[in-house]
Amino acid sequence: GQNIDQPTEMTATEGAIVQINCTYQTSGFNGLFWYQQHAGEAPTFLSYNVLDGLEEKGRFSSFLSRSKGYSYLLLKELQMKDSASYLCAVRVQAGTALIFGKGTTLSVSS
């Protein structure tokens, strides 16, 4: 079976840095994705990693270690609007659907 684990909830304060971890055990690997989802809305794409290392995009960075089956999403200079659910997803094979973790609900307070 496919398994993707991430923490259920996290809290942080405005201006801080938060790291959301994701571990996966899947039958194959063709990329790891991070999405942001606000309540009642569809997910929006944040990042994509297929090779080991860090991908930086503004305040958001994502890291991948394929040998460890591990990724993290790093959010810097947190803002209240960053309060949302963050979904880690793996694509097992090119052209196939993404398999999602259960999501991490991040609450940012002032």
Partner 1 sequence: GAVVSQHPSWVICKSGTSVKIECRSLDFQATTMFWYRQFPKQSLMLMATSNEGSKATYEQGVEKDKFLINHASLTLSTLTVTSAHPEDSSFYICSASAGGVETQYFGPGTRLLVL
| Residue ranges that bind partner 1, judged by CB under 8 A | 31, 33, 35, 40-45, 48, 50, 87, 95-103
Burial class (CB in 10 A: 0-12, 13-18, 19+), 96: exposed
Looking at the Cβ atoms of 8 and 67, the one nearer to partner 1 is: 8
Looking at the Cβ atoms of 8 and 110, the one nearer to partner 1 is: 8
Furthest-apart CA atoms within the chain: distance in Å: 42
What minimum distance in Å lies between the beta carbon of 15 and partner 1? 28
What minimum distance in Å lies between the beta carbon of 40 and partner 1? 8
Q: Of the candidates 89, 108, 104, 82, which has an alpha carbon nearest to the alpha carbon of residue 34?
A: 89
Looking at the Cβ atoms of 96 and 107, the one nearer to partner 1 is: 96
Q: What are φ and ψ of residue 82, in 5° steps?
A: -80, -5
Looking at the Cβ atoms of 13 and 107, the one nearer to partner 1 is: 107
Burial class (CB in 10 A: 0-12, 13-18, 19+), 73: buried
What minimum distance in Å lies between the beta carbon of 103 and partner 1? 5
